[in-house]
Structure 1
Amino acid sequence: MSLPKLHQEYEDDNELEEIPLDELPDTVTIVPSYADACEGSWDRASSQLTHDDESKVSVASKGSLTSKGPALDSRQPFTTHHSTHSPITVSRSATTTTTTSSSSSSPTFRNSSTSSSSYKTKISSPDRSTIKHYRSRRSFAGHEDISKEPAKEEEKFIIDETERKRVLRKADWHLLPFVSLLYLFSFLDRANIGNARIAGMEHDVELHGLRYNVVAAIFFIPYALCEVPSNICLKLMRPSRWIPSIMVAWGIVMTLMCLCHSYEGLIAGRFFLGLTEGGLFPGITFYLSLWYRRRDVAQRIAIFYSAATIAGAFGGILAFGISEMEGAGDLHGWQWIFCLEGLATVVVGFLSYFLMNDYPDSATFLTANEKEIMVQSLKQDSHGLAKEFRMTYVWQAVRDYKTYVQAGIQLGVVVPIYAISLFMPTIVREMGFRNADAQLLTIPPFVAGCITTVIAGHLSDKYNKRGPFIIICATVSLIGYIVLYTQTRTAPLYVGAVLAAMGVYPCAPVDIAWAGSTAGGDVRRGVTLGIVIGIANLGGLCSSFVYITPPRFHLGHGIMMGWLGLSILLSCFAMWDYNRLNKKKKEICTREGIDPSKNEEFRQMGNDSPLYRYTL
């Protein structure tokens, strides 16, 4: 006789587990919040489940379970839906052919054939603890015959959503201000070359012609090349050691740049600054993906990325104040900008060795119960995805065309972002403002960018969508550049600059979250993010050389419009492609009856697994 199969459907990722009833363990617990239905079929009128061999299973139901779907034969599933939030326990007795429930309201499944095994379902009262433990001698997902292997004990967890959100907020308060501070210093130190330029560096170091552009551009070559190796090192080492070390290293380089008195010295300083700083942004992005579920990470990346806009605004104020130290200690004002900002970075870097937590399961600010909530949330989000390091996963990321689609989207928005950070003071100055006023007038565009970045990240996570927000924000920025290109009066030009900044800044963190969600497994995700961010940061080379036609900068504004258009088109393609792949995966799972319990089989596949679903 072929008995029906039980299915378990997970709420978060719609993955399916199944096991034939004749292979059930002695005791199995099905948790309703993860298993909406146990599947089979019965005749509603007779309350009988009839198989091809004419054996029957009686079903006595008093409302606790409800059926759905037509009557099916023995090779098809039968469906019951549990109407409460209590666990359903399915037990097997090897000595009797008939079992009854412990309560009058509990339904009974009785196998009336000659089989020696019978089954019952019993509704038990729910445990009110945050995480409920259900043990069985064998995993519900197992397909092996329990008579052939020793019993294994496994736990299932139910996580209260309210409690999970509370723990998430606690993690936010401990992690996000800290990583935002790190990135603020990172962006401040790489972009202060623009503030130093109008604070007198251009004259003192004789940065005539394209010399300033070369100094700005040289940073991005080592910056881009070291990002993938850095993320691999982060995976192999502890984040609390690798990220602070990166920060201390670039802080030292930044401080020593105050000793530069020549064009060649500035080139060397910027090269080593890019080399030491390159691992921070992909490192923090990867680090956050180890703490948050895929659908929760975009707004967190947006919050820490908004530090870049704060750095742009804060950098203008800071540069304005520090430049007043002109002549102190025989240093120019722009040299003091490098010195003081570099020393502050070193101090924060050393503090990071003691303040940074590695992973949720070792976080000092979480209780044991809170750690378990974080860990189990991540496990449910990454069901069947590999976490150990293998070169196979590296090559999967390198060969995946989707990695380069996401890199193209990121490149299309990063080029304008770097152009704004490097040339906004110059663009504003060419509108007719004095140097000091230009420093201060760079603040509103960056503040506007900060606000829209946080809002877009929040909405992106709320609706679990990435592409639409990139398209909308990039379009706003495109309108800003059109205004900058076509207008001549100061007021419209300044409004265009604000629109350009407030539109483009949200695109980068949303796309980073999108790229991370297309890669299954920690290693593949880390390499994918490294490639995407590395390729995108090569766009800084373009940003450095296109604003060479003052005062209107038509060439630069026109090229920025082209890059934004590319990002919009690739976002549309990615949404279409991921939707196509999701439909294909769903069809495969339905047709083949894919079982997600066979995790090892799917680990090698990463996001190529038919169980993996892409975010649009």
Structure 2
Amino acid sequence: MSSDNASQKEFKDPETVVVQDAENVYRPDVDTSGIDERKLMRRIDWHVVPWLAVLYLLNFLDRGNIGNAKLYHMTDDLHITDKQYLVALTVFFFPYALFEPPSNLALKKLRPSIWLSSIMLVWGIAMTLHGVITNYAGLLGLRFLLGLAEAGLYPGIVFYMSCWYKRNELGTRVGVFFSSATIAGAFSGLLAAAIHNMDGVGGRPGWAWIFILEGLVTVVCAVASFFILSDFPDTAKFLNETERVWVVRKLQADMKYSAGGETFKMKYVWQSLTDRQTWLAMGIYMGFDGPLFAFSLFTPTIISQLGFQATAANLLSVPVYAWACIMTVVIGFLGDRVKTRAWINLGLFGSGLVGYLILITSTNPSLSYFAVYLAASSIYPTIPNSVAWVSSNVEGSYKRSAVLGMAIGWGNLNGAVTSNIYRAVDKPWYRLGHGIVLAYIAIGWLCSLGMYFHLKRENAARERGERDEVIDGVDSKHAHEKNGQFESVEAARSEKGDQWSGFRYSL
């Protein structure tokens, strides 16, 4: 291998790696022996996860509440057709998808507390204005602005969390954070049913108050976020200097060598574009993001077509999301414990295939409603598991931000497709829409399988020494100049990131 014997011992177990080269220890002058790990990690969790969950709850609530508003005659009051409504949904996704990669790079350059709070303030204002529009043009403009502003939050949070936690710590935290999306789905129906009682207040219809009140809450939380949200570990104000050093060392020991800081270079973006793993990740995200948007936007409509009125349909969506929330947290916890995220992905996508096959073939309302549960418990848990899997296998903070931005952006762009597949002419069973979602899930399953074999094959090649670099002063019979020539192991780590011969992918 391309490093000395002491260095090679690091890589026998990538999940519990301990950096042994004293000269490579981050801030070697700082003594961290007095740190209580469990106590510090609990404090980090309380500062990082709960507020991110609140932000994403509002993000998901504001994105999907148009589906609830539609049930309360929004389209009739705005004099728009079913086709125009679908176009309005579609307009959201183009800026939402295209702005995600640059937004993630901006987040890395700027402070998370500034960037994430700013975009949240913009979308909160846009959401509030949904309640005062009077025509189709106004709806189109605000949906575009909403997509532009919301674009940076989800990929930004995913990248931000990956900068705080080790690979076997991330799944549980992402599961807890992402469970807020299912809570938003549940609350969306409850809030819509409650807020609709304000119909006529201030001369505004009930559906308008759904947008106004939920938008104002977002604005208030955005302002608070400037003061609540912490920054990256090496600069976080709620940690003292010793604690910051300990966190960075812990991450670097888990093969996140860029945790101590990294200077932006355009080559990191190029690395993300040329890595096969990026394109497989885009397929995985496509496999769950397309179904996610279809599910969140149309669940009330689908349930209403099973024979339930608007309020009943909104309320019946609540237990569906509650079940999805439970499954999301359970799978996040399980992924961190069993450390085989590929097989979890394949199992979840597989159950989703079964759910949508039932929806396509069933003409029984009760069976179809059961299949909605099956679909929810497949789509939502797959997301945090995939997020943890992809982010843990990309080293280099800028490369990771670019890969996550591209994968999430591409996945969300497919929301432009799935927001148009549940057409009024296909009710009550919507077989065309269900069939398209089924195809998306199949793509996710195949790309997950492809990712597993790709990473397994690459790990095996590194074990055989086929990726060894030429390192000055290190004698290795497998080293080859085609893999690069470096003055030290540290230089190889820094330059190559997860392409370095010592890096091991998690399966």
Measure the CA separation in 2 of the matches of 1:34 and 1:281. 32
In structure 2, the residue matched to 1:490 is 365
Aligned to 1:610: 501
* Contact 2:120-2:219 at 8 Å conserved across structures: yes
Secondary structure (helix, strand or coil) at the match of 2:72 reads helix
Mapped partners of 2:279, 2:403: distance in 1: 9
Q: Secondary structure at the match of 1:360?
A: coil
Query: Is 1:437 aligned with 2:323?
Result: no
Structure 2 residue 476 is the aligned partner of structure 1 residue 585: no
Query: Structure 1 stretches of 5 or more lacking a match?
Result: 16-31, 36-137, 143-152
Q: Report the 3-state secondary structure (helix = DSSP H, G, I; strand = E; otherwise coil) of the residue aligned with 1:447.
A: helix
2:492 to 576, 595, 601: 601
**Is the 8 Å Cα contact of residues 219 and 274 (structure 1) preserved in structure 2?**
yes
Moved more, 542-551 or 204-213: 204-213
More helix as a share of residues: 2
| Alignment partners' CA distance in 2, 1:209 and 1:495 | 27
Contact 2:255 2:503 in 1 (8 A): no
Contact 2:128/2:215 (<8 A) preserved = yes
Q: How much does 1:34 deviate?
A: 5.7
Amino acid at match of 1:463: V
Summarize the Cα distance change of 1:197–1:602 in structure 2 as closer, same or farther, 3 Å threshold: same
46, 49, 60: which is aligned to 1:176? 49
SS in 2 for 1:382: coil
* Structure 1 counterpart of 2:432, from 555, 578, 584: 555
Pick from 481, 497, 502 the counterpart of residue 356 of structure 2: 481
Q: CA deviation at 1:357?
A: 1.0
Greater shift, 383-392 or 194-203, is seen at 383-392
Q: Deviations over 1:521-578 (max 9, x none)?
A: 0000000000000000011111111111110000011111111111111111110110
Q: Which residue of 1 aligns with 2:178?
A: 305
Write out aligned runs for 1:349-388 (5 A).
349-382=222-255, 384-385=257-258, 387-388=262-263
> CA, structure 1 residues 597+457, in 2 after alignment: closer, same or farther (shift >3 Å)?
farther
- Structure 1 position 411 matched with structure 2 position 286: yes
Q: Relative contact order (C-alpha < 8 Å, sep 6+): which is higher?
A: 2
How many Å separate the matches in 2 of 1:373 and 1:256?
45
| CA deviation map 1:248-271 (0-9, x unaligned) | 011011111111111121111101
Change (3 A) 1:307 1:159: farther
Match of 1:165 among 38, 43, 60: 38
1:613 Cα deviation from its structure 2 partner: 1.3
Structure 2 CA distance for aligned equivalents of residues 547 and 606 of structure 1:
43
What is residue 143 of structure 2 aligned with on the other side?
270
The answer on whether the counterparts of 1:247 and 1:346 sit within 8 Å (CA) in structure 2 is yes
State how far apart, in whole Å, the 1-side matches of 2:439 and 2:333 are: 28
Q: How far apart are residue 372 of structure 1 and its match?
A: 3.1
- In the TM superposition, 1:111-510 aligns within 5 A as 154=28, 163-382=36-255, 384-385=257-258, 387-510=262-385
The TM-score normalised by the length of structure 2 is 0.90
Bigger Rg over Cα: 1
Q: 1:506 aligns to what SS in structure 2? A: helix
Q: 1:535 to 1:233 in 2, by over 3 A?
A: same
Kindly provide the amino acid, as one letter, of the partner of residue 42 in structure 2: R
Contact between 2:47 and 2:230, CA under 8 Å: does it hold in 1? no
User: How far off its partner does 1:290 sit?
Assistant: 1.2
Any conservation in 2 of the 1:299–1:460 contact (CA below 8 Å)? yes
Provide TM-score, normalisation by structure 1: 0.74
C-alpha contact (below 8 Å) 2:304/2:310 kept by paired residues: yes
- The answer to whether the Cα contact below 8 Å between 2:165 and 2:251 also exists between their aligned partners in 1 is yes
Q: Answer yes or no: is the 8 Å Cα contact 2:104–2:402 preserved in 1.
A: yes
Question: Structure 1 596/195 Cα, relative in aligned 2: closer, same or farther at 3 Å?
Answer: farther
> Shift of the alpha carbon at 1:164?
2.4
Structure 2 residue ranges without an equivalent (≥5):
469-475, 481-485
Structure 1 residues 154 and 426, CA gap change in structure 2 (3 angstroms): closer
Taking the aligned partners of 1:608 and 1:318, their CA distance within structure 2 comes to 48
| Higher strand proportion | 1
Q: Which residue of 1 aligns with 2:473?
A: none
Deviation at 1:445, TM superposition (A): 1.2
Partner of 1:47: none
2:34 paired with 1:7: no
Of 380-389 and 539-548, deviating more is: 380-389
SS at match of 1:306: helix
Partners of 2:70 and 2:337 in 1: CA distance? 41
Indicate if the aligned counterparts of 1:200 and 1:333 stay in contact, CA closer than 8 A: no
How far 1:448 moved relative to its partner? 1.0
Partner residue, 1:24: none
Over aligned residues, Cα RMSD in angstroms? 2.4
In structure 1, how many angstroms separate the alpha carbons of the residues matched to 2:99 and 2:5?
49
Answer with 366-375 or 433-442: which moved more. Answer: 366-375
Match of 1:109 in 2: none
Structure 2 residue identity aligned to 1:189: D
Q: Given that residues 13 and 381 in structure 1 are in contact (C-alpha distance below 8 angstroms), is that contact kept between their aligned partners in structure 2?
A: no
